[in-house]
Structures are given as structure tokens and as C-alpha cells.
A and B are shown apart, each in its own frame.
Chain A
Amino acid sequence: MEEIYGRSAGQGDMPNSFCPGCSYGNVMKLTCEAATELKLLDRLVLCDGVGCFNNLPDLDRFPKFGSQHGRLAATATGFKRCQPGTPLLAFQGDGDCAGIGLMETVTAANRGENFTVLMLNNLNFGMTGGQMAPTTLVGMKTPTCKQGRNPEERGYPLRMAEIIATLDAPKLVARVALYDPKHILEFKRLLKQALQIQEQGGGYSFIEILSACPTNWHMKPQQACDHVRDVVTRTFPLGVFKSIC
């Protein structure tokens, strides 16, 4: 029988540990596809902050290093400055990247460090039980805002892609979602573009990925996917905010 769909080259044999319906598995798979198509399987290095993707369980093929919660952009900076020829992909959640690591994220972007940050935005601190994140939607209920996020007390969702796009140095800044094949392919296209920018020594790229989190959103997988399309994109519009190639 012909196999028409399977694990990508570069994906390990281990089952991933993500919840059913979580977008993170897709991001892992698409990373492998992009690396394969760009012939980077033997050179790409991955690094991760602290979040549900810890240790990037699906990506054991690649050399990886970790960092403390929020500090990944600093660790990645140290690595990339010393190995400028190695393509480097950084995985961060919205809590890691926009919460505790906001300073590291913004200053690395502002220096135009030559690596790519994937911010997987699921609107909450998934690993610790779904608490409010800087990205939590207005009115959204979490264990730390049980009546829903009240902007008068808790402020508004932080739009990282737009913030990064205001800086002079970054070369590619975009927000994508993975709720249908068209958008999945758009993410892969942008990821490949970001890696190509790195290969040309071009500079910093930032892709925010709106990720479904059925477990903490208390939704079924399909419902969570539809929620991204119908609700989340209203606060976090998709698009390429900056592209200097």
C-alpha cells in the first residue's frame, strides 16, 4: 500500500506528548518539512524556552539546547554570535516570549540577531494549568482570572508581532494560524523564508503562531480550531507585518 501521509523526515519515532488537538505537533512536523526542503537537516540547531514544547519531544534528530524561562533570546544570541553559520530556530510560548522574556525578546530583535523566533501563542500558560498570559483575550476565563480577563485591571492582550514590527532591525515579522491547509502552507512558506534570510546572514525573523489549546480552553479539538479562526484572529489579525528580503 502506498503511504501518502506519514511522519516527516527528521521527526523522531517517539509519539509526541502534546494534548489531542494542540497545534504544537503541527509546528514540529512543519519544522521538519521546512528543514528537509531547504536541505538543513544536518545543520539546523534548535533551542527552546520553557513551555509545553519543552525539549521539543518530536525533534530528537536535531541538536538542541535549552534556556531558563524567558531567557531564550539571550542564550540564542550567545550561541549564534559564536556560530554565525549555523541556522538556529528558537521555540517559545507566549508566556515565555511575551511575559517573563519580554526584555530578552525585544532587545534581541532590536539588535537584529540572526536567528528565527517561533512564538507559539495559545493565549495562556499551558504547562502550568492555563493561567492568564499577556496574550489572554479580553473576557477569556483562566484560573487566574476566573471571571474573565478584565482589561481595566489586567490590561489588554499584547500583540507581539506588531510590537516587533515597529523595530528597525527585524527582517521578517508575521502572524500565522494553522486552522486550515491554506494557513498551514503559509506558515511553512514563511518559516522557509525566515531560514533563508538567516542563511544569507540577513537578520532577525519572528513568526507568531496562533495555536489551539483545547485542554485549557475547555473545548473539543475541532471547536478550538474554529475558535482560532473565528475569535482569536479578531484580536490577533493574521498577516506579514514586515518583510525586508
Chain B
Amino acid sequence: MEKSVWKGNHAMAEAAVRAGFRFFGGYPITPASPFLEYMSDRMPEAGGVFLQGSAEVEIPCMLMGAAFAGRLAVTATSGPGFALMGEGLSAMGGGRIPALIVFVNRTGAEAGSLPGTQDCYEVSTGSLGNGGMHAFVFGPGSMQEAVDMIYEAPQIMLQYRTPVIVLADAMIAQMAEAGIRMPEFRKLPEHMHEYPFVIDRARQKGELREVSATPRWGPFPREGFDAQANIEYNYQQNEAMYRTWEEQEVRFETYRLEDAEFVIAAWGSPARFAHDAVDLLRNRGIRAGLFRPQTLYPFPKKQLAALNPRQVKGVLCVEMAVPAQFYYDVKAAVHPEIPVKSYHRIHGIPYASVIEEQMSALMREVE
């Protein structure tokens, strides 16, 4: 019988192998290190390449090199590592080079502190380094969902030619959970070779000009030598892709939202507690509901904007980040007549009872 009790880091790494990733580059960093340790055995065993880099600055470059060679490439890191990757991720975003970054959030600025929080929301969903490019960002709410999102990542990566981030927190990555359903091994995708930056196949097709992959300038070659016009054209394609994501790829989950007067907005692990908080509030006869984005970029703006101010009396944003980050995206999206309040901490966990108390305070303010 297949193992069903997994530690989060190991489960996510195994999901990446089963999804078809055959290149891993990484560097030790808490709380993502067990991902790296797992891959050091598992990747070679699966016929892939494992590399431990000398610092995170070189990891996105290794992933891009692997992508140029036609491999699905993945890394796992945390905030300080992600900061060092900024330069390479900027190139990856601008040049639309597909790779997966499993980002296990820890606390605070620079090396900060080790407890898992959600304060890398902004750095993940905002510009990848300089230039204003974006990755497609999943925000898993549980270990199972992280596994499923990692398994789905290659489809997004290859359909759109984009880096993908799975922004997990340390609760997901470090807890052990039972009942994890591990996906089947995916047949290795040949379709990566359809993309012109992949060196060998492009040669066979005689498309030699197209394989000149200068990531920062973008992948779509145009005739002529006006570099600035070329860059603008490429970045316009990127921008169009981001709009397409907002139209077609937004994922979110709601719980008892249909008749809700008081809505909790949360993503990741706090949404699990928020789910229970909805039940606690409902037991008291309060019409509460939950809105949980599963994609953080694209953000479900339209879906939040659809909350009806004649029905919804208040929104409580719960997140493990100080200063608040997710709150501002929610606030910008919902109807301006709906009061939006933030409950955000990095010391202590926002358990259901705490969220219930916070919602009660919001209700007192509103009514």
C-alpha cells in the first residue's frame, strides 16, 4: 500500500518528481531544507539532475539552463533565498522561461526568524525583481492542495511559458499529515521541446535565430534591429498574458458564502482556521462565510468585487504578516461601501476561536 503519511516538504518534493520535474537546484534554507535533502536522493533515482548551488543567486540560472535544455526544473526556498534569486527571477519573468519555485515562507525581513508566516505574499505576487514581471502564484491551503498545485504547475508553466511559484507556509511544509493522496507518475512531457528556447529541437527545425535566448529581452523574436521596439513588443505580450490569467486562470474557494453577511478573507493555512471560525460563528446564528484565494497572482479581484454591499456588512482579512499585505489586495478589490478590517499577527497562530473574537469585534464596530 502506498505511503499516505507525509511530511509537507517531502510530499511536495515527491509531487514534483511525479509531475515530471527532472532538474532540481537548491541551497539549504530553513524551513525548506528537507525538500532539498529529499531531492538529493530522489531526483537522481528518478533519472533527473540534483544540484546544490553555492548561493541562491545562481539557482534561477541553473533552472534556466535546464529549461534551455528541455527539462522541467524546480527549486525550493524561503524568503532570504528568494531575495537572492531576485535577479534571475526577473530574467525568468521577462524572458518567460518556465520553472517552478516552491516558496516556503518564514518570518520577517532578511533572515528574520524561523516560524512560518505569510509575509512573503507581496514579494511573490509583486514584481519579480526589477522590471515588473510576474510569476503565476499558487497559494495552497493545505498539504494536499500544495501537492496538487505542484502537480498542476507544469501545465501552467508550459501553456503560458512562465515561472510558477507555489507559496506555502511552514505549517504546510513542516507538519506531517495522514491521508495524503499522491498523484500518479506523469508521463514525461515531450511538449517542452515545442518551445523555441529549447536548444536541440530548435536546431532540428532550423530555427536558429529563435534559440538565441537572451532572457531579459523576452522570447518573441521580431525582424529588425530596434532593440527597444523588440523589448516593448515582448513585454506587451507578457502584460497580455497577465490579463488572460485574470480572465481565465483565477482559482478560489468559498465556504458558506451564499447568504453571508460577514466574510472572512484568508489564504494558506490561516484559511483552515477561518473555515472552522465560520462554523463557530454560524453556530451562534451569525451568517458568516469564507473567501479563500487559491491563486494569489492572478488575484480574484472580480470575484471579491462581486460581494454585494447590500448583503455583506463586513470583511475580516486574516493573515500571518506584519505589516499587513494580503489585506491591501482585498481592500482594493471589494466594494468601497463594505468595511474591511485586518487581523494580522506573526506571533501566535490565528486559531478559529481568535478569528471568531476578531469577527465579533468587527460586528460591534459595524452594527
Contact mask B44-60 → A, CB, 8 Å, 1/0?
A: 00000101011101110
B211 interface hit (Cβ, 8 Å): yes
Which A residues are closer than 8 A to B by beta carbons? 42, 45, 55, 60-68, 71-83, 86, 103-104, 107
B182 interface hit (Cβ, 8 Å): no
Of all chain A residues, which has the CB nearest B95? A66
Whether A103 contacts B54 by the Cβ 8 Å rule is: yes
Contact of A65 with B66 at beta-carbon distance under 8 Å, contacts A103-B55, A103-B58, A104-B58 already known: no
Dominant secondary structure of chain B at its interface with chain A: helix
Whether A82 contacts B211 by the Cβ 8 Å rule is: no
Assign chain B's interface to a size class.
35 or more
Count: A-B pairs, CB below 8 Å: 115
Whether B213 contacts A107 by the Cβ 8 Å rule is: no
Whether B51 contacts A86 by the Cβ 8 Å rule is: no
The one of B65, B91, B202 that contacts A79, using a Cβ cutoff of 8 Å: B65
Contact of A79 with B215 at beta-carbon distance under 8 Å, contacts A63-B203, A71-B58 already known: no
**CA–CA, A103 to B56, complex, Å?**
11
Contact of A78 with B54 at beta-carbon distance under 8 Å, contacts A55-B212, A65-B197, A65-B212 already known: no
Instruction: Give the residues in chain A near B213, CB-CB below 8 Å.
Output: 64-66
Which B residues are closer than 8 A to A by beta carbons? 22-23, 25, 49, 51, 53-55, 57-59, 61-71, 73, 87-88, 91, 197, 199-200, 202-203, 208-209, 211-216
Contact of A82 with B88 at beta-carbon distance under 8 Å, contacts A64-B213, A74-B65, A104-B58 already known: no
23 contacts across the A-B interface (CB closer than 8 A): A55-B212, A60-B209, A62-B208, A64-B212, A65-B213, A66-B213, A66-B214, A67-B64, A67-B215, A74-B59, A75-B68, A78-B25, A78-B62, A78-B73, A79-B65, A80-B69, A81-B69, A82-B49, A82-B69, A103-B54, A103-B57, A104-B54, A107-B53
Q: Distance in Å from the Cβ of B332 to the closest Cβ of chain A?
A: 33
The one of B23, B87, B197 that contacts A78, using a Cβ cutoff of 8 Å: B23
Interface centre among A68, A79, A80, A82 (most CB of B within 10 A): A82
Q: Distance in Å from the Cβ of B199 to the closest Cβ of chain A?
A: 5
Whether A82 contacts B203 by the Cβ 8 Å rule is: no
Whether A78 contacts B214 by the Cβ 8 Å rule is: no
Q: Distance in Å from the Cβ of A36 to the closest Cβ of chain B?
A: 17
Whether B51 contacts A78 by the Cβ 8 Å rule is: yes
Instruction: Give the residues in chain B near A74, CB-CB below 8 Å.
Output: 53, 58-59, 61-62, 65
Instruction: Give the residues in chain A near B211, CB-CB below 8 Å.
Output: 63-65
Whether B62 contacts A65 by the Cβ 8 Å rule is: no
Contact of A63 with B208 at beta-carbon distance under 8 Å, contacts A78-B25, A81-B49 already known: yes
**CA–CA, A86 to B201, complex, Å?**
12
The one of B88, B199, B202, B209 that contacts A83, using a Cβ cutoff of 8 Å: B199
Contact of A67 with B61 at beta-carbon distance under 8 Å, contacts A55-B214, A78-B73, A81-B49 already known: yes
